Structures are given as structure tokens and as C-alpha cells.
Amino acid sequence: MGGWCGQWLAGRLEEPVARYDKVHKQATRQRIIETAGHRFKQDGIDGSGIATLMADAGLTNGAFYAHFSSKDDLVAHVVADQLDTQAESFRALPAGRAGLEGFLREYLSPQHRDNPADGCPSAALLDEIARCPAGTKHAYTDGAQAILDEIAARLAPEDPQSARAKALGLYTIAVGTLQVSRVVSDPKVADEVLEQGIQNARMFLG
């Protein structure tokens, strides 16, 4: 019973020999997710077609469905990836309030305002995500929780309850301020919006 022959057969049946490098397809898939993130944040989800997304990744439209079951499927994975990346960047911040102070200055900077493609997915896509299917909203919810945890840990590790509320205040005012500053036409006023946003957001650091 058993023995090497049976194991060999089972192995052959369940997992045929990989012709391509094992990580090759995974890498392509991840590349699509990341370039789609940039494109979505720049042109919107509705504003980005499959053919454009695939060209961004150096591929043609036909290959798309070998990686994702639908555009909605891609969107959900992009949202998850974008928030994971943002959570990661919070983890890289210095501990305590100093880290959050630095985050604020970078987040509410003219550079971030003028480069949505490389910036915060919430500021660029939140209200479009609100109109997405449940799967995408769920991906956002999970990702946002992780980010709020990171912020809360830097605010008051000894009091998780109130730190969570303050973390939400800090995040929502940062997102709202950046969105408003991106819409304001007059560059001078837009700069003032950012400055006042930093002052206002500091209320949640104290």
C-alpha cells in the first residue's frame, strides 16, 4: 500500500509539471494590480478601460481574463493591494505622535495633492468605491481597519478605545482635506486649504 509509486502518480495527476517559472504568472498578476492602482487613481475606475490597464502592464487586453474573472474582481484586488501598501507605509513611520506628525505633513503636501496616481487610494477613489459591489467594499473595510490600527497604536497604545476614535478623526479629516484641495481651482487657496488641514488635523494628535 502507498509507497513511492502511488505518491508519484498522485503528484503527477494533481500538479502537472510547470512549464513556466512558477512565480512568473503571479508576478504578472501583481504587476497588473499595481499598474491598475496607478491608473484608477488617475482616471477613476469607470474611466479606466481593460485595454488601457493591460497596455499599462505591457500586455494586450485578451490576457486579462487569464488573471481575473472580471473587472470587478480586479478592482477588489487593487483596493486591497492599495490599502495594504498604505498600511505598510504607516508601519515604516517613526513610533508615537512624531510619526503621525510627519505623515500629516507629507499627506497634506502640494506634491501629494498634485500626484493622485502615486497617492492615497481613499482620497482618489473613496466615493467611487462606495458605489462598487460588496466584495470591493469589504476589501476596503479590511484594509482601512489595519491602517486605523497603525494610527491608533501611535496615538495612545494604553487606551485603544479613544485612540481608535481619534485615529478615525485624523484619517477622515486628512482624506477630506486632500479631496477638497484637489478640487479648488485657485492654487493659492488650495495651498491654504492644505495648511489649515494640517492645523486642524493636529487637534487629533493632542
Partner DNA sequence: TGTACATCAGTGAACGCGCGTTCACTGATGTAC
Chain centroid to CA 71: how far?
Answer: 17
Q: Which of a copy of itself, DNA, none has residue 134 at its interface (CB below 5 to 8 Å by kind)?
A: a copy of itself
Closest distance to DNA from the beta carbon of 12 (Å): 9
**Residue whose C-alpha cell is 503636501:** 109
Which cell numbers in the block locate residue 113?
A: 495633492
**CB closer to DNA out of 36 and 147:** 36
Question: Contact positions toward DNA, by CB under 7 A?
Answer: 16-21, 24-25, 28, 48-52, 54, 59-67, 70-72
How far, in Å, CA of 168 to CA of 150, rounded? 11
Among 138, 153, 191, 205, binds a copy of itself (CB under 8 A): 138
Q: Are 84 and 149 in contact (CB under 8 A)?
A: no
- Torsion over CA of 145, 193, 119 and 101, rounded to 10 degrees? -60
Question: Which residues of this chain interact with a copy of itself, rule CB under 8 A?
Answer: 43-44, 46-47, 116, 122-131, 134, 137-138, 140-141, 144, 164-166, 168-169, 171-177, 179-180, 182-186, 189, 193, 196-197, 199-200, 203-204
